[in-house]
Amino acid sequence: MSRFISTCAAVAVAAVLGFGTSAWAQGAWEAPASEKGKKNPGGNAANGKKLAETNCVSCHGNSGKGDGPAAAALNPKPADWTSAKVQKETDGELFWKISNGRGPMPPWKHLSEKDRWDLVTYVKTLGKK
């Protein structure tokens, strides 16, 4: 729970200080072509869900719709993982975005590569509901 509060506090401070303001004027968030074709080595959706509950719900919300409690203070808004736009992205694109972040979305390279693939696998399950 303290990690959740810390994440919310960090996002709120970043929003107040204008962190990522250059991202507001940026265009579409595109992964490099070299990353789009990366293949998922077979992630674990159950572990991905646990990781999302620990690290992502403050912005992306419990159901992944981008409606977490910190989302109101963010611009651009967090992605709706259930949307056709996100679901059309390749696993490689999602992995790259999770790994590198942009604007208010932090990079998650401190998570193992396996954990990041697990998150990708979980996000992809949300389009099947």
- pLDDT of 18 strictly over 70: no
Cα 76–Cα 99–Cα 112 angle in degrees, nearest 5: 140
Residue range(s) defining the domain that contains residue 104 = 2-22+31-128
Q: How many domains are contained in the chain?
A: 1
pTM above 0.95, yes or no: no
Distance (Å) of CA 115 to CA 48, 50, 106, 112, 119: 7, 10, 15, 5, 6
**pLDDT category, 128, cuts 50, 70, 90?**
confident
**CATH of residue 70:** 1.10.760.10
Q: Is the dihedral of CA 63, 78, 116, 110 positive or negative?
A: negative
Summarize the confidence of residues 42-66 as an average pLDDT: 97
